[in-house]
Amino acid sequence: MFSINAAHCLYASVIRDSLNRYTARSRRLSELHQETLQSINDSTWRSPPFMVKMNILLP
């Protein structure tokens, strides 16, 4: 007979593992998002035709 305590521990560890995976994935996604925004900012500000790019971006 599988005891309730063992089942509970197993269930809790499964939930904890999936939560850890989810938080790691979302943290990595947010880092990627920041890097993308940063590279867009850098390339926009560094290039000479800044006003041209702004006109294209604005509707």
Distance CA 22, CA 3 (A): 29
Structure confidence at residue 11 (pLDDT): 83
Of residues 33 and 58, more confidence is placed in 33
pLDDT tens column, 11-41: 888 888 888 888 988 888 888 888 888 887 7
Of residues 43 and 19, more confidence is placed in 19
Q: How far apart are the first and last CA of the chain?
A: 68
Number of residues assigned to the chain: 59
H or E stretch covering 24: helix 4-46
